[in-house]
Amino acid sequence: MNGEEFVSQLEGVRLRGRGRWTSKCPAHDDRSPSLSVREKDDGRILIKCFAGCEAQAIVESLGLTFSDLYPDKPISHHVRGVRHNSRDLLHLVRREAMVVVLAAEDLKNGKPLSEGDHSRLLAAVGRIAVVVNES
């Protein structure tokens, strides 16, 4: 989304200049506008609460994720019919790689893989292969 779409979800928004807004922070009980929102030239949205809320808490209280603070990417990939952008794919690979690491740890510690763990491991390897093939 862009900066305007983002601030449309906030309260007490004031435009402070091109790509700059202040508003009430949705992550704490805000009486004065503590939140500063900036849209950078590359389309990224920067948020800062001067009362000290974490950016994570702010996006979550709006029901958003950090990927919503990035401009919609023209480059996208299709994995199993689902459209993913590059960031989603990195997250997916990281998560699936963790499944492989955990399985390796179990085996190293002499713990046999259960049937469920084994199929989860195969699924993880399959998903990583799909991402690599389609990237």
Query: Which residues make up the interface to Zn ion (CB under 5 A)?
Result: 25, 27-28, 49, 51, 53
Residues 6 or more apart in contact with residue 70 via CB below 8 angstroms: 43, 44, 45, 87
At closest approach, how far in Å is the CB of 51 from Zn ion? 4
Residues 6+ apart with CB under 8 A from 38: 3, 19, 20, 21, 45, 46, 47
**Least distance CB 55 / Zn ion (angstroms):** 10
CB of 13 to Zn ion, least distance (A): 15
Whether 57 and 63 have beta carbons less than 8 Å apart is answered as no
Of 36 and 67, the one with the shorter C-beta distance to Zn ion is: 36
For 37, phi then psi, to 5°, come to: -120, 130
CB of 10 to Zn ion, least distance (A): 11
> Which one, 27 or 131, has the nearer CB to Zn ion?
27
Q: CA–CA separation, 29 vs 61, rounded Å?
A: 12
Task: Report the residue number, 48 or 77, with the smaller CB distance to Zn ion.
Answer: 48
Tokens found for residue 60:
């979550």
| Nearer residue to Zn ion within complex by CB, 3 or 33 | 33
